[in-house]
Chains A and B, each alone.
Chain A
Amino acid sequence: MHEIRLAWLFFRVGAMNELQYRVNFFLQLFQSVLAIGTGLVSLWLIFSHTSSLHGWNPAQLLIVMGVFTLMGGVIQTTIQPNMTQLIEDVQQGTFDYVLTKPADAQVLASIRRVEIWQSVDVLTGVIIVLIGVLRLQSQFGIGRAVTFLLMLVVGALLIYCFWMILTTLAFWVTSMWHLVELFAGVYNAGRYPVGIYPGWLRYGLTVVVPVAFAVTVPSEALTGRLDTKTVLGAVALSLILVTITRVFWSFGLRRYSGASA
């Protein structure tokens, strides 16, 4: 409970800090509109040459695009800023300041940065998902909506664990530049359902980088393609990965020697 209050506090301070720079909202909105415009042009080009892509129709792919944008917004608002800050702190030795605070270091390192304007993408993502759902032309129950939300949380958790494990490597390899570009590039593969990729790549996007769980699985939940087995598997996987992340973090932390010591 204490951790949640702390996260909320950091969120408020971070948000207030960013709210000083109002122009950034419009810049972010502009960027968001351009990205969605490009995405829509891609979809339009695809469906002007074919009627379905690997069994997904236009409304369903619109949902995938919405979830992709939404999840991208979540990543950029909270996960990514915290992780890049952590890499920088470990490099510079300023991570000392986190360790000396009377709270769990992993929690602190994961909640202290918020880039509130990036959440514009969360909003636009939700809008696109809603438009997609309205155009689905199939019955849509509360069950699907609940599974969708659950899978979104699981997906975000898996992405967090993935980032955290990579970032923890910074305790050994201090030069981790371009990690953001690497992740952003690979995450882009989530624009389309991972089923379209050849086997080895699909495997990589599921197990190595959990893009499949972050975008495809929630989209499958909304379009009624998900079976109970996958849902349970995803939940189990997230629990396992959270534990592994915790163990790995503690292990890595022992490597940290600080800058002032």
Chain B
Amino acid sequence: MTAYFDVYRQLMKIGVMAEIQYRVSTYFYMIGMITEPVIYLVVWSTIARSHGGSVGGYTAGQFVAYYIVWTLVRNVNIVFTPYGWEDRIRTGQFSAMLLRPMHPIHWDLAFFAGTRIMSVIMWLPLAAILVIAFRPTISPTWTQVLVFFFAIWGAYLIRSFNQWMLGLVTFWTTRVGAVFQLYITAETLLSGRLVPLSLMPHWVQVLADFLPFQWTFQFPILALIGKLTTRQLFLGLAAQLGWILGGIFLLQLVWAACLRKYSAVGN
């Protein structure tokens, strides 16, 4: 256990340092990323304003809050891309990963957690600009802040497991691109990434309840902007825990199948 703790601490440090080293690059990436919610924010707060102040239960200020918190959640839930697996397998990095005495997922979880922490710190000035420019309506309680803190890391874990499993599809086909595009589209529509799910038709909301996506975007956002009751907050954390445990279980199965399938190419 202490061995794992040390490994995590060191890898997170490396992650933090990698982010600091390439900070110009990180800002390029972040500004590009923040444009997406700013577009949604402008569109929906415009509609809310032209409809006597609110649409789908959201006021213009609440839309602003929703999409600004969105940027924070997005900053934390960026994880290792499934596309990266193609490279890992083709260049033989994967063989080296297998030689380490711990499951390779720990490497990604720890390293990316490190980069996320740094990325949130670098996000702060951009967030300040967004807050000044668009004026969100938000006044979270301490309970909401606390639940939010756990919820964004829950989102991080759920998304990590999902995308890791998606990446493992590479063991069977090298064309993961199409599968991954489909996944991202489903996520965009069913997670609250495009719009809060309450703006979607009823059947979409029902469908979303059976899928993990909303726990990686909408739940943490709603937790902080004060759209949930205390009961819903804690039930939400429980649901996240359920998806995390489910993810771990499924990953074990897929992983075992992958190892049987894998044969090193090249050397």
Contacts and interface: CB of A to CB of B under 8 A. Distances in A.
Helix, strand, loop or mixed for chain A's interface? helix
Contacts of A92: none
A234 to B, nearest CB: 23
A245 B55 CA distance: 45
B42 A46 contact: no
Contacts of B36: 185, 188
Interface in B16-56: 22, 24-26, 28-29, 31-36, 38-39, 42-43, 46-47, 50-51, 55-56
B221 interface: no
A179 interface: yes
A30 B199 CA distance: 27
B113 interface: no
Contacts of A22: none
Interface residues of B, number: 36
Interface in A167-206: 173, 175, 177-179, 181-186, 188-189, 191-192, 196-198, 200-201
A257 interface: no
A45 B22 contact: no
Contacts of A34: 181-182, 185
A86 to B, nearest CB: 17
B199 A27 contact: no
By size class, the interface of chain A is: 35 or more
B187 to A, nearest CB: 11
A8 B51 CA distance: 52
Nearest to A179: B28
Interface string B167-207: 00000000101100110010011000011000110000000
Contact of B32 (A54, A178, A198): A178
A125 B39 CA distance: 20
B28 A177 contact: yes
B133 interface: yes
Contacts of A179: 28
24 contacts: A34-B181, A38-B188, A41-B194, A45-B195, A45-B199, A45-B200, A46-B43, A46-B47, A49-B47, A49-B55, A50-B47, A50-B51, A53-B46, A53-B47, A175-B22, A175-B24, A178-B32, A179-B28, A181-B32, A182-B28, A182-B31, A183-B32, A184-B32, A186-B31
